[in-house]
Structure 1
Amino acid sequence: MTEIAFHFNIPDRIAYLSRLLRKAVGRSDSIVVVAEAAALDKLDRKLWELSATDFIGHWREGQDAGTVTEAMQERARVWLTEDVGSCPRHDVLVSLMPQVPAGFEQFARLIEVVSLDEADRAQARERWRYYTSRGYQIQRHDVQVKG
């Protein structure tokens, strides 16, 4: 069964996610980030702005299709996508989506990243209820408590 964690009270989801991805890649996890196009654009830019030593090799689905080979796509440790269904096997799914991501069950872990925005928090509560009603145990990570 997929392990689910909610990271909430995140002041800047894109900055937080870039740190989270660095840690996960350091543990050799392969990650899919599912989000709406605008959030993926911001994250893609943020990942390209990292220093050479912090750089995270990633693939933005739908971009560079003419220059990136299938083998290069498969070697990317981080995939950025709006649709999980087209992704190859990965360890971790990180969701910035307002709804439960379709296909989350195929991943060993799901991380939901929730901002301070009240609408985002309300949608996260709905997702939390969805997961618990189906028997998933959820880990809570309150970023504000940690400092």
Structure 2
Amino acid sequence: MPRADFYLIAKERFRAEPLRLVCELARKAHDAGLWTLVLARDAAQAEQIDDLLWDMGDDVYIPHQIAGADLDEDEAAVLIAPPEADAPLRPLVINLRDAAVEGSFDRVLEVVPADESARGPLRERWKQYQARGLELKKYDM
């Protein structure tokens, strides 16, 4: 059964840099051998995530790239897709966009902003995934 995991930003370091949480989730997925697609909100955010994944520490290397680059996307464990890139879904999807992920996947990770006023769309998304029969989990990060 597909699953949707909602990660609520709570810790100060993730409040300051929410995309750090995205990179931590991508690292955990890579360590577990899961091919991951990150659906970035826009091209600028995709670039930020790309930069942060290079900056995970000297002993951490996560093969990643932005979709649409001229490289072989099948070799990148983490593919970062801005909206204009046509990237196929992978078993694990980290969704930073405004809409629920449609299509076939094993797990989707949704990052919930620390700001209470920005959480409305994610409550809607929770209901959408629930209606589709996904197993739902919530984590405070």
The TM-score normalised by the length of structure 2 is: 0.83
Query: Secondary structure of the residue that 2:49 maps to in structure 1?
Result: helix
Query: Secondary structure of the residue that 2:28 maps to in structure 1?
Result: helix
Aligned to 2:20: 15
TM-superposed deviation, 1:84: 9.7
Contact kept? 1:84, 1:101, Cα under 8 Å: no
Q: Please list every run of 5 or more consecutive structure 1 residues that lacks an aligned counterpart in the other structure.
A: none
Contact kept? 1:5, 1:110, Cα under 8 Å: yes
Q: Distance in 2 between matches of 1:88 and 1:101?
A: 12
Count matched residues: 135
User: Structure 1's 88 and 101: CA in aligned 2 closer, same or farther, altered over 3 A?
Assistant: closer
Contact kept? 1:99, 1:127, Cα under 8 Å: yes
User: Structure 1's 85 and 45: CA in aligned 2 closer, same or farther, altered over 3 A?
Assistant: closer
User: Structure 1's 44 and 119: CA in aligned 2 closer, same or farther, altered over 3 A?
Assistant: farther
Contact kept? 2:93, 2:109, Cα under 8 Å: yes
Query: Secondary structure of the residue that 1:62 maps to in structure 2?
Result: coil
Task: Give me the CA root mean square deviation.
Answer: 2.1
Aligned to 2:102: 102
Aligned to 2:111: 113
Q: Please list every run of 5 or more consecutive structure 2 residues that lacks an aligned counterpart in the other structure.
A: none
TM-superposed deviation, 1:52: 4.0
Q: Distance in 1 between matches of 2:115 and 2:46?
A: 18
Aligned to 2:77: 77
Aligned to 1:3: 3
Aligned to 2:140: 142
Q: Distance in 2 between matches of 1:96 and 1:87?
A: 15
Contact kept? 1:34, 1:84, Cα under 8 Å: no
Amino acid at match of 1:50: M
Query: Secondary structure of the residue that 2:52 maps to in structure 1?
Result: helix
Contact kept? 2:38, 2:80, Cα under 8 Å: yes
CA offset digits 1:35-86 (Å, max 9, x no partner): 21232121111112233421211120123x2xx2xxx320110000034983
List aligned pairs for 1:4-83, cutoff 5 A. Answer: 4-10=4-10, 11=15, 12-37=17-42, 38-63=44-69, 65=70, 68=71, 72-83=72-83
